[in-house]
Structure 1
Amino acid sequence: MVDFDVVELGEADNPEVGETAPDFTRPLVNEEFWENASLSDVTDEGATLLVFYTMDGGFPATYIWNELRERGWDDDNDLRIVGLSISTPYEHKTLIEEREMAYRLFSDPANEVADAYGISYDMDGMAGISEPRPAVFLLDEDRTVEYAWVATEWPDFPEYDEIERAIEER
């Protein structure tokens, strides 16, 4: 059994349902290559589930992406699923290959996007290092938030059944 402390993350100041999610441009990685893309480039294609997660090497990333792959929401709905973490494009490429993921991942090593979304937290014991707290935003084509979940502690995982209901109700 893994032994770790639960960490309270405090208040977040994230975009809420009905608000417009901040746009950003970062490298967007897929199984073949990466290129700069904006969130609005993705949402222009249709509804998007934006998933913030901790770095690629941590167990939360594995759990979250395995669950999303198993649920297949992007297969059953007109939905794009994209992730975002502080991991580099090279680390994202490895995660995509190892997990056999069909998802695209934004790379934000400076954690500036999480800052803009009000969901950044300083990693305990690591001076100058922050990452996004786990968070999920369901966005329409105009980046309007239709569903939002943000972790209040680490580790914490989304309520997948709630996300599924939000997707089905769109």
Structure 2
Amino acid sequence: MLTVGDDAPDFAAPLVGAETEPFRLSNRRGTGPVVLAFFPAAFSTTCTEELCTFRDELSAFSDLNARVFGISTDLPHALSRFRAEHDLGFDLVSDNDGAIIDAYDVVDEWEHINLTTVAQRAVFVIDADGTVRYAWRADNPGEEPDYDAVAEAVESLA
């Protein structure tokens, strides 16, 4: 299980912003903290609330040179629509093959609808050197992160 003090696993995946383009986490090293917000499904109630909360709190992270990335197993097209519909000012990462959620040990299964590979709701704060400085995993799909704790983790790296 990935914990505080571990090296954050590197990954390459489609990044959904104004355009969809290739992205590699290690290319962010040295530029400031990174917040990885894993979420199960675009357009679901709790995921929308969570990412809109990050959207509304984004200015505090930007002031600290931190970047937020939302990560789910949704395809880039769905993430693009979700990002536009909710005016998210940060990029989303499409983990369409489940490799990232596997590397971060946040794989969840929704047996009630036969989904065997979705992201467990989780947040990791990674410092500029690529070390995990904050780690949180939800105990149930409807649980949201402690946004103040995430902000404090980012602020501690400034």
TM-score in terms of structure 2 length: 0.92
1:123 is displaced (CA, Å) by 1.3
1:125 is displaced (CA, Å) by 2.7
Per-residue displacement from partner, 1:102-140 (whole Å, max 9, x unpaired)? Answer: 111110122221111111011123445311111111101
Contact 1:43 1:141 in 2 (8 A): yes
CA distance in 2, matches of 1:59, 1:43: 32
1:70 is aligned with what amino acid? Answer: D
Which stretch of the first structure deviates more once superposed, 42-51 or 97-106? Answer: 42-51
Look at both structures and tell me which one has the larger radius of gyration over its CA atoms. Answer: 1
TM-score in terms of structure 1 length: 0.86
Runs of 5+ consecutive residues of structure 1 not aligned to the other structure: 1-12
- Asked if 1:95 is matched to 2:82, the reply is yes
2:73 is aligned with what amino acid? Answer: I
1:142 is displaced (CA, Å) by 2.2
Runs of 5+ consecutive residues of structure 2 not aligned to the other structure: none
2:154 is aligned with what amino acid? Answer: I
2:108 counterpart SS class: strand
- Asked if 1:74 is matched to 2:75, the reply is no
Pick aligned residue for 2:13 from 3, 26, 30:
26
1:105 counterpart SS class: strand
Taking every aligned residue pair, what percent have the same amino acid on both sides?
A: 29
1:45 counterpart SS class: coil
Alignment map for 1:31-42 (pairs within 5 Å): 32-42=18-28
In the TM superposition, structure 1's runs of 4+ consecutive aligned residues that sit over 4 Å from their partners are none
Aligned to 2:48: 62
1:57 counterpart SS class: coil
Pick aligned residue for 1:136 from 111, 119, 123:
123
Q: Quick one: structure 1 residues 81 and 43, their matched pair in 2 at CA, closer, same or farther if it must change by over 3 Å? A: farther
CA distance in 1, matches of 2:63, 2:23: 25
Per-residue displacement from partner, 1:58-94 (whole Å, max 9, x unpaired)? Answer: 1122111111111123332110111110111111111
Contact 1:42 1:80 in 2 (8 A): no
2:111 counterpart SS class: coil
CA distance in 2, matches of 1:127, 1:68: 29
